């Protein structure tokens, strides 16, 4: 009985591959520049908080930057950029959302946001793979990729946060269970803000592809 070999899904270029075409040493220079720019963008966006009604908390642009860089850079370059940003944080630089002169480096990364940082890596890879499949070229495809990426941020984030709650942060006087406290701290205040950020990213990246297409006509 003959077997039908599955055809590999063709890999499509990501946004950062549509400009500054280079090869050889010039390609490595381009990649290095993109990584540095990505690290700077992640560090700056992590510190930007915008109050938006009706979100109960100010919206941080950190997640928006993580997801858009994943889509624009692709999985490999996006991963290198994400790990580079975290390495800068490990070295003690104030590049994370709530890090400070008093709380930084591994001490900060092992705290309540540690799981979300792991999720950032997973989300970057997911958005990069989705972009290689062309999902980022339509609003619907980009929206689906963003929902998957956002879920990948929250799963390890909430699991780690719940571990810390159960390990000693649980407030039985205010919450019915450790998980109810975890969700109240790490999910529900951010749902509205995340919806706004995902909507903006779902429009931005396909919009950039439209501009790229028009520029090549």
Q: Is residue 113 included in any domain, yes or no?
A: yes
User: pLDDT at residue 3 above 60?
Assistant: no
Q: Is residue 24 included in any domain, yes or no?
A: yes
Q: Is residue 115 included in any domain, yes or no?
A: yes
Q: What is the span of the domain harbouring residue 111? A: 15-215
With beta carbons less than 8 A apart as the criterion, state whether 119 and 157 touch: yes
Q: What's the whole-number mean pLDDT along residues 107-126?
A: 94
| Residue 66 belongs to domain with CATH number | 1.10.1760.20
Total tally of structural domains belonging to the chain = 1
pLDDT, mean over the chain: 90
Instruction: Extract the tokens encoding 75.
Output: 């999985």
Q: pLDDT tens for residues 73-88?
A: 999 999 999 999 999 9
pTM of the predicted protein model = 0.90
Distance of CA 34 to CAs 69, 91, 154, Å? Answer: 10, 21, 27
Distance of CA 113 to CAs 101, 110, 158, Å? Answer: 17, 7, 9
Structure confidence at residue 26 (pLDDT): 93
Alpha carbons 22 and 19: distance in angstroms, whole number: 9
Strands of the chain (E only): list them. Answer: 49-50, 59-60
Q: pLDDT tens for residues 117-143?
A: 999 999 999 999 999 999 999 999 999
Phi, psi of 50 (to 5 degrees): -115, 120
Q: Is residue 10 included in any domain, yes or no?
A: no
- Which is nearest to 80 in space by CA: 16, 19, 156? 16
């Amino acid at each position: 009985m003959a077997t039908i070999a599955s055809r590999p899904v063709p890999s499509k270029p990501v946004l950062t591959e549509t400009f500054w075409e280079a090869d050889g040493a010039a390609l490595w220079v381009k990649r290095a520049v993109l990584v540095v720019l990505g690290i700077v963008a992640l560090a700056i966006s992590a510190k930007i908080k915008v109050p938006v009604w009706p979100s109960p908390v100010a919206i941080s642009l950190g997640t928006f930057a993580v997801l858009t860089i994943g889509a624009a850079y692709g999985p490999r370059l996006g991963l290198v950029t994400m790990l580079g940003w975290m390495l800068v944080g490990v070295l003690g630089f104030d590049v994370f959302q709530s890090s400070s002169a008093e709380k930084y480096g591994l001490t900060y990364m092992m705290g309540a946001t540690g799981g979300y940082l792991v999720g950032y890596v997973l989300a970057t890879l997911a958005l990069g793979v989705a972009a290689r499949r062309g999902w980022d070229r339509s609003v619907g495809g980009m929206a689906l990729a963003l929902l998957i990426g956002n879920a990948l941020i929250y799963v390890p984030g909430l699991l780690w946060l719940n571990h810390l709650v159960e390990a000693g942060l649980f407030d039985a006087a205010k919450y019915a269970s450790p998980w109810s406290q975890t969700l109240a701290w790490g999910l529900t205040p951010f749902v509205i803000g995340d919806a706004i950020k995902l909507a903006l990213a779902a429009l931005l990246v396909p919009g950039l592809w439209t501009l790229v297409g028009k520029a090549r006509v």
